Amino acid sequence: MGGGAGVGISRGSSARVINNVILDSTIVGIFINTSSYGEIRGNTMDSSSGNFSQIFTTGSSSADVFNNTITASSGGGIDAVFASSVEAGDNNVSGTVSGGITVAQNAHMFLRSENTVNNPDGQAIFCGFTGSLRVDQIQMITAGTVFVDPGCEIDNVAGDPSFPP
């Protein structure tokens, strides 16, 4: 509880972070970087401090992110940036300020199954310039917006012609 990063996976490492409670990390809940891999399943993450993100993947790293409950009053929920890759599904993301699910900067996000995102103060799903987003099942957005930058590559939007709204 507390501290800069709740869990750090770095420098070519791999780890399974399963069924944990991660509270009030001041920078990031789970940080995956520098060509590392993380299996992130069944965790509860909550932060009321000014953290950057709950799950942050960067630097040519990858993660499988499934069945997590993510609540934050600031920062993002699940972020993939700088050539990282994330497969996500069955997550419940709420209360984040900057973005519920974010992909940008040459990263790829694959929403394999339904994620529920409730972000009344910001974006539920954000695909930024040079990001790549594949959506294979309709996502449940109870609050927040969907933003797809013109430079974002988007694929197979679960057969829903209204995405993004």
| pLDDT tens-digit map of 109-157 | 999 899 999 988 888 999 998 999 988 888 889 988 888 898 888 876 6
Phi-psi region of 75 (alpha: psi -120 to 50; beta: other; left: phi over 0): left
Tell me: the pLDDT tens digits for 35-70?
Answer: 999 999 999 998 866 667 899 999 999 999 999 999
Distance CA 143, CA 115 (A): 13
In sequence order, which residues have a C-beta less than 8 Å from that of residue 7 and are 6 or more positions away? 15, 17, 20, 22, 29, 30, 31
Domain spans in the chain, listed from the N-terminal domain onward: 5-155
Task: Tell me the pTM.
Answer: 0.90
pLDDT reported for residue 55 = 94
